[in-house]
Chain A
Amino acid sequence: MNVDLYERIWMWAAVAIVVVFLTAIGISTFAYAVRPPSHMETIDPATVMQDPRFAEPGVVTLPDGSVHVTIVAMMFAYLPAEVHVPVGHPVTFRITSMDVTHGFEITGTNGNTMVVPGYVSQFTYTFDEPGEHLVVCNEFCGVGHHTMSGKVIVDPPGGPAAGAAAPDSAHPAADTGVRP
């Protein structure tokens, strides 16, 4: 096939660009373990609140120091709506839906997952700085979609800032969230 010289150069350059993109994705995947949430776990959406995994949603610190946040999404709220997590520790979010498909996006971070009924979504994120993050539902879920939000409050080392209720260190598993 007769291809103009300049165009041939351009085509090789285009291949090179694609290869650079693929390499970047490959490096982030395999060297930095950047993976999208692809958790495999099913749950009956009709009995989420009776299921031991989600019966008491909230923040739990496991004996090994890792933090698990369990959240139930529903039309049009998260339960709990507000969670406190520590700064600098890996926090594993576990979320499922009681009804339709929702999103769970922690604004200002890469924490973002679809919440599809029948499945448990799970991802781990480490917050580097204390502060507040608005959480929004980013999948249309019905007429109240735009009101479905929550908050992740990242506490500084040593617990929440003055004014907020300090978690009892003897019972770190307590739910610090506000129930709607």
Chain B
Amino acid sequence: MTRADRLPLAHIAVAVTAFGAAACMALMQALSRANLDLPFRSAQIYYLSVTAHGTLMALVFTTFFIMGLGYALVPRALGRPLLHEGLAWVSFWIALAGTLATLTAIFAGKATVLYTFYPPLKAHPAFYIGLTLLVVGSWGWGFAVLRTLRAWRREHAGVPIPLPVLGFATTIIVWYIATVGVACEMLFLLIPWSLGIEKTINPELARTLFWWFGHPLVYFWLLPAYVVWYTVLPRAAGGKLFSDNLARLVFVLFIVLSSPVGLHHQAMDPGIPAGWKLFHTFNTMWILFPSFVTAFTIIASLEVAGRARGATGLLNWIGKLPWSDPLVASVLLAMLLFAFGGFGGAINASYGMNAMVHNTAWVQGHFHLTVGSAVALTFMGTTYWLLPKLTGRDLELGLLAKVQPWLWFAGMMLFSFSNHVTGLMGMPRRVFDPSYGGDPTAARWKMLTGISAVGGILLFVSAAFFVMVVLGTWLAGRKSEQPAVEFAEPLEPAPKSLPIFDRLGLWAAVAVVLVLVAYAYPIWHLIRTPHFGSPGYSPF
């Protein structure tokens, strides 16, 4: 372990700890939904656990892992050390302190408001202030990475940005634009209200600012996974990246399209004009395009790899891929699950069809395929590849690492598909006990919630394997010389001139204009409409 690698390792340690804790809660929740009477089962604990699981997985695990991955990959891809390492460490401690404050509030039972924290359910101020500090820490991370990139560009005039770095720069731009929404919600609405400075709050305005943040948040999770798919996977599979140019196009499209879409989460909300919901729905559909392009480029890159490994037939290159490599297996299975998740997402966002699935179990089935598989499984596979390089130790418990992605895949198929179906049958999400006093409609969900619980058990075992491999490698792995990080080469020679996709400032400006177009009127309308505020309510 070099001194510089302590920074990414510290972030990954926090991420894996959060992941392990959240996985334990998930097991309890899945069993509770199947109405298994466990000791200590209660509605209070269930909802507290849903809050902790969502916060730890969606906000803590992802953010810390992404920051750690950025610190590991960006300096390596640029071939220069990180600027502002001191600031990076300060940001780490700010984010960690914030996380601990939030978790303290949750586990003290003072913040059972779920990770979407919709007012007028009110949490302890420490919950909101802690999450704000987590975001502030991530801003410091973005600043250090972008400044390092800027220094590199001065030293390498006219050279295209290395693709992994372009991917992370995109992630940071998307994150900065997204977090403006949640920062406004926290600073102007939630924190003053939870401290008692403001007596009431406008819940619909808070929801709108939350979803300004909440949708691009999913691309903040997804883009680092795409960095791995584009720049790590093809090489690990023994091939080359099919098209460097299109990868750049994809990243840039995410900058532009990620944010002006949040109202599709509020299709069922009162107080927001239907025309603006339609506008956001139309914008959302175009985000399918870069993911379709990704599907082609990655699959073509994999075919190149399979053929390089001796495949000759139409499809036998699939079998020739190194499935026994835990990184390759994780990412391939993650992509397969994402294909289902993507189409489900198009249904969620479709204005009219949203009524069928809005806030039903379908939604949790959906995002466990996207963030819970495409992103989380990719990150687990990436850890198997990256951790030995950062710690200078061999991967331990390799057999568990090989089995783990398959268990995740099987568990997620059972969990996610049963939740999609119960959702279509009307079962709401986030309910402690879906029996509704023996109502005949609710009785029809029963077998599927059982299948979902079996999926939950498999997922828990898979998560436990992952944590064991990480602990084993870190604490007991044999010290040895590890191969350096190498990124996939493009199939075609690198472009000579600077691609237009590298003009990040330009694309960020386009994105800001689109966000203003998409949100200026709906937010102005919410503020201008005479409305009545809400005092806070305790969930218990």
A binding-site residues for B, Cβ under 8 Å: 1-4, 6-7, 10-11, 14-15, 17-18, 21-22, 24-25, 28-29, 34-46, 75, 99-101, 103, 105, 107-108, 110-122, 133-134, 136-147, 149
Measured between beta carbons, the chain B residues less than 8 angstroms from A10 are 292-293, 296
Q: Give the distance in Å from the alpha carbon of A142 to the alpha carbon of B170 in the complex.
A: 38
Task: Tell me the residues in window 29-87 of chain B with beta carbons closer than 8 Å to chain A beta carbons.
Answer: 43-44, 47, 50
**In the complex, what residues of B have CB within 8 A of residue A6's CB?**
296, 300
Q: Which residue of B lies closest to A44 (CB)?
A: B532
When the two chains form their complex, are residues A36 and B274 in contact, meaning their CB atoms are under 8 A apart? yes
Residues of B contacting A15 in the complex (Cβ-Cβ under 8 angstroms): 289
Chain A hits for B530, CB < 8 A: 42
**Per-position contact with A for B414-444: 1 when CB-CB < 8 Å, else 0?**
0000000000011111111110110101100
* B286 at interface by CB-CB < 8 Å: yes
Contact indicator A7/B346 (Cβ below 8 Å): no
Interface check B297, CB cutoff 8 A: yes
A sample of 16 more A-B contacts (CB under 8 A), given A25-B278, A134-B436, is: A2-B245, A7-B293, A11-B292, A34-B351, A37-B268, A38-B270, A113-B268, A116-B207, A116-B270, A117-B534, A119-B204, A119-B270, A119-B531, A138-B429, A139-B359, A146-B434
A18-B289, A38-B274 known; A118-B355 Cβ under 8 A: no
Can you identify 12 A-B contacts, CB atoms within 8 angstroms? Answer: A3-B246, A4-B243, A17-B288, A22-B282, A34-B351, A39-B270, A41-B270, A100-B121, A107-B426, A108-B441, A134-B436, A141-B539
Task: Write the chain B residue with the least CB distance to A111.
Answer: B355
**Residues in A whose Cβ lies below 8 Å from that of B266:** 114
Do A100 and B269 contact each other (CB < 8 Å), given the known contacts A21-B346, A105-B359, A140-B114? no
Q: Is the CB of A112 within 8 A of B43?
A: no
**Distance A141 CA – B432 CA, assembled complex (angstroms):** 12
B270-A143 in contact (CB<8A): no
Question: Does B196 touch A at the CB level, under 8 Å?
Answer: no
A40–B44 CA distance with the chains assembled, in angstroms: 35
Shortest CB-to-CB span from B445 to chain A, Å, is: 10
With A7-B246, A14-B288, A119-B204 already in contact, the answer to whether A40 and B270 are too (CB < 8 A) is yes
Please, what's the 1-or-0 string for B224-246, where 1 marks a CB less than 8 Å from any CB in chain A?
00000000000000000011011
CB distance A141 to B431 under 8 Å? Answer: no
Q: Is B354 an interface residue (CB 8 A)?
A: yes
Bound-complex Cα distance A140 to B278 (A): 26
| B interface size (C-beta, 8 A) | 76
A102 to B285, CA, bound (A): 28
Question: Which of B243, B292, B433, B538 lies in contact with A17, CB distance below 8 A?
Answer: B292
> Which of A3, A45, A113, A136 is most buried by chain B, counting CB atoms within 10 A of its CB?
A136
Interchain nearest-CB distance for B227 vs A (Å): 20
Q: 1/0 per position for B272-316, CB-CB distance to A under 8 A? A: 111001100110011011001100110010000000000000000
- CB-based contact B114/A99 at 8 Å: no
A137 to B296 alpha-carbon distance, docked (Å): 41
Chain B residues with Cβ below 8 Å from A108 are 426, 441
Q: Chain B 520-540, CB within 8 Å of chain A: the 1/0 string?
A: 000000000111111101111
Taking a contact as CB atoms under 8 Å apart, the answer to whether A149 and B439 are in contact is: yes
Tell me which of A103, A115, A137 has the highest count of chain B C-beta atoms within 10 A of its own C-beta.
Answer: A103
A45-B532, A108-B441 given as contacts; is B539 within 8 A of A142 (CB)? yes
In whole Å, how far is B302's beta carbon from the nearest beta carbon of chain A? 14
Q: Shortest beta-carbon distance, A140 to chain B, in Å?
A: 5
Given A11-B293, A116-B204, also A21-B285 (CB < 8 A): yes
- The yes or no answer to B350 lying at the interface (CB within 8 A) is yes
* Contacting residues of chain B (446-499) with chain A, CB-CB under 8 angstroms: 492
Q: Which residue of B lies closest to A142 (CB)?
A: B539
B215 at the interface (CB under 8 A from A): no
Flag whether B181 is at the interface (Cβ < 8 A).
Answer: no
The answer to whether B352 touches A7, judged by C-beta atoms less than 8 angstroms apart, is no
Report the minimum CB–CB distance from A126 to chain B (whole Å): 14
Contacts A38-B270, A134-B426, A146-B432; A4 near B441 (Cβ below 8 A):
no
Interface contact A103-B426, CB-CB below 8 Å: no
In the assembled complex, how far is the CB of residue B342 from the closest CB belonging to chain A, in whole angstroms?
A: 11
Contact of B537 among A1, A46, A75, A107 (CB under 8 A): A75
CB distance from A54 to the nearest CB of B (A): 13
B350 (CB) vs chain A CBs: closest residue: A25
Taking a contact as CB atoms under 8 Å apart, the answer to whether A119 and B121 are in contact is no
Contact check: which of B47, B268, B272 meets A112 at CB < 8 Å? B268
For A39, the chain B residues whose CB sits under 8 A away are 270-271
CB-CB < 8 A to A107: which residues of B?
Answer: 425-426, 441
Chain B residue with the shortest CB-CB distance to A95:
B270
Q: Which of A45, A114, A144 contacts B269 (CB 8 A)?
A: A114
Find out whether the CB atom of B47 lies under 8 angstroms from the CB atom of A145.
yes
A43-B346 contact in complex given A105-B360, A134-B439, A143-B43, C-beta closer than 8 Å = no
Distance in Å from the Cβ of B411 to the closest Cβ of chain A? 24
Most interface-central of B428, B441, B532 (chain A CB within 10 A):
B428
Contacts of B285 in A (CB 8 A): 18, 21-22, 25
Give A31 Cβ to nearest chain B Cβ, in Å: 11
Chain B residues contacting A36 (CB-CB under 8 Å) are: 267-268, 274, 277, 351-352, 354-355
CB pair B352–A28 under 8 Å, yes or no, is: yes
Known: A105-B360, A138-B358, A138-B360. A143 touches B539 (CB 8 A): yes
Q: Is B160 an interface residue (CB 8 A)?
A: no
| Across-interface contacts of A133 in B (CB, < 8 A) | 441
Q: How far is the CA of A133 from the CA of B202 in the complex (A)?
A: 32
Q: With the chains together, A24 CA to B122 CA distance in Å?
A: 40
Report whether A116 and B442 are in contact in the complex, using a CB–CB cutoff of 8 Å. no
**Interchain CA distance A115-B432 in the complex, whole Å:** 20
